[in-house]
Amino acid sequence: MTRVWGRVLRYVVLLAVLVITVGPFLWQLSTSLKGRTEDIYTFPPRLLPRHPTLGNYKGVADIVPVWSYALNSLTVAVANVVTNLVGASLAGYALARLRFRGRGAATLAFVLALLVPLESIVIAQLTLMRQLGLNNTLIAVVLPGCVGAMNVLLMRDAFGHLPYETEEAAVIDGAGVWQRFARISLPSVKGTLAVVAVFSFMGSWDDFLWPLIVLSDSSKFTLTVGLNYLHGTFSSNQRLVAAGTVIAVAPLVVMFACLQRYFFRGVAEGSVKG
């Protein structure tokens, strides 16, 4: 009997968490489908639209060039994923496996970098980009986040947890550092690579302040910045804002759905069983 109740309780708690996490998103989805004649702010809230329409999505495209913004965002996000995967795994491997003078200090520098908030260095970054002649370009949007300190530490941790024995065996077989990195270690940390990919994709896709500050030409805006135009100064149509949000979130959902198999495997993997 108690086992049944335990199971019921478990499902109730899971359902509650589901409602809390998925609820707001469903609400946005429902608002974005509501017709012009419907009240949005009803109490109690109504989840199913009475006059469902896709017109709001068209409305978003009329106000902002949403596809070109999405392309900008995608460019930035993909570049960010690639640079983070390459940079963080190289740096992480070096910190975990290579012996060199100042390794501890280098690790500490990455930890300290985590503590610096973007807001306090944004002006310095802007002046730097200006001196490099890069402000108002997408490269400037990618550059400051291209190798995240957090990702380097994640990769260092993942490499550090691999058993030494496999690499020692590879050394005996005559493998160099590059071969050990590329053939032995890298395939063993796919889970962490997926985590880094998802985090850097999300981070750059959601980033708002830095692209806003470094870009001045609105044709170069990324999606999050561009969609902010939907909050009109004099009137704000919540249906359009909701439609914009759904457009902005959709790629993240797709990205996660594709990578979740690796994502949950996480850092718990190893190359040697038992």
Partner 1 sequence: MPISRGTRSHKAVGAALPLFLAAAALTACGGNADGGSSADGKVAGDISFQTWNLRANYKDYFNGLIARFEKEYPDTKVRWIDQPADHYADKLSADAAGGTLPDVVNVSPDLAYPLAKAGVLVNLDKEPASTKYKDEYTPEAWQANEMPGLNGGYAFPWYLNTGPLFYNRALFAQAGLDPDKPPRTYDELFADANTMARHSGGRVATLAATPAIEDFGRYGVRLMNADATEFTYNEPRGVELLTRYKQLYDNGALDAQALTNGPEESGQKFLEQKVAMNPGSAHDLSNFKENAPTLYKNLGIADAPNNTGHPNMYVMGLGINNGSRHKPAAIAFAYFVTDRQNQESVAHKVAIFPSTRGSLDEPYWTKDDGTDEGRVRVAAAKILKGAVNYTPVVMSDEMKTVLQNQVALALQGRKSPKQALDDAVARGDELLKQG
| Footprint on this chain of partner 1 (rule: CB under 8 A) | 36-43, 63-64, 80, 84, 113-114, 116-120, 122-123, 126-127, 130, 135, 145, 148-151, 199-200, 202-204, 206-210, 212-213, 216-218, 221, 225-226, 228-238
DSSP letter, residue 145:
G
Nearest approach, Cβ of 144 to partner 1 (angstroms)?
A: 9
Closest CA to 122 of 139, 149, 141, 108: 141
Angle at 223 between CA 221 and CA 226, to 5 degrees: 55
Nearer to partner 1, 90 or 212 (CB): 212
Contact present, 161 and 69 (Cβ < 8 Å): no
Nearest approach, Cβ of 213 to partner 1 (angstroms)?
A: 5
DSSP letter, residue 229:
G
Nearest approach, Cβ of 100 to partner 1 (angstroms)?
A: 24
Determine what percent of the chain falls in helix, strand and coil, rounding each to the nearest 5.
Answer: 75, 0, 25
Nearest approach, Cβ of 31 to partner 1 (angstroms)?
A: 10
Nearer to partner 1, 83 or 188 (CB): 83
Nearest approach, Cβ of 126 to partner 1 (angstroms)?
A: 4
Nearer to partner 1, 191 or 244 (CB): 244
Nearer to partner 1, 8 or 113 (CB): 113
Nearer to partner 1, 135 or 192 (CB): 135
Q: Cα(266)–Cα(161) distance, rounded to whole angstroms?
A: 12
Nearer to partner 1, 179 or 238 (CB): 238
Nearest approach, Cβ of 34 to partner 1 (angstroms)?
A: 10
Contact present, 148 and 200 (Cβ < 8 Å): yes
Angle at 145 between CA 144 and CA 148, to 5 degrees: 125
Q: Which residues contact 40 (CB under 8 A, 6 or more apart)?
A: 31, 34, 238, 239
